[in-house]
Structure 1
Amino acid sequence: MQTEDMIATDEFCINHNIEIDFINSLNNSGLIEMTVVEEKSFVPASQLHHLEKMVRLYYEMDINVEGIETITYLLQRMNTMQQQIVQLSNRLALHEDE
C-alpha cells in the first residue's frame, strides 16, 4: 500500500505534542480512519484538517472523545440540513420563475 497520501500517526503526535492514545481512541470510536502498514499506523492526509480540529477540541477546550463524537455528529447533521435547504431553495426558485 502506498503511504504518499498518508500521515504517520507517531510523527503527527510528535509535531502536535499529543499522545498516541488520543489518536487510537479517535480511531476506536470511528472518528478517524487509520491504516497500518508494516506495523506503522497512518492517517489519510484527507482527514488531517478534521483530525486537527479534534485535537484542538480535546486539548484546548477539554472536550472528551464522547463529546467530540457528539459535536462531529451534530455538525454532519447541520451540513446535511444546509444542503437540503439549498436544494429546496433551488427547487422553489425554479417554480417561482414559471
Structure 2
Amino acid sequence: MENIDKLTIEECSQHYNIATSFIFDLDDHGLIVLTREEQVTYLHYDQLPLLEKYMRLHFDLQINMEGLEAISHLLKRVQLLQATIRQLGGQIPG
C-alpha cells in the first residue's frame, strides 16, 4: 500500500538532511506527532510546516528542545488570545 500522505522518518531525514534523532526528539517533547505502523515510523505531511519551523529555530538560532517547547507554548497562548479577541471584537463598544 502506498503512503501518499506521509513520509517515513528515514525519507524525511534524507530530504531535510537532518538526523532522525532530531525528529524523534521533537516527538518526545510533544512538538510534532509521529505515527507508527508495522515497525515503521511516519510523519504526516500536515506536520511538515511544524518540522520546518522547529528546524529553523533549532539549527539557525541554536534554540534547544526546552526552548522550542517554551516557544511552542507561548505561540499557542498567543493564538488563543487572538481568537478570543476576535470573538469579543463585536462586543466591545467602539
- Give the alignment's TM-score, normalised by structure 1: 0.86
- C-alpha separation in 2, matches of 1:29 and 1:2: 29
Give 2:4's aligned residue: 4
| Residue 55 (str. 1) matches residue 63 (str. 2) | no
CA–CA distance in structure 1, aligned partners of residues 32 and 2 of structure 2? 18
CA deviation string 1:3-55 (max 9, x = no partner) = 32112211111111111111111111111111112322101111111111001
The CA RMSD over aligned residues, in Å, is: 1.8
Aligned-pair identity (%): 35
Q: Between Structure 1 and Structure 2, how many residues are aligned?
A: 94
Structure showing greater Rg: 1
Matches of residues 15-94 of structure 1 in structure 2 within 5 Å?
15-92=15-92
Q: Secondary structure at the match of 2:92?
A: helix
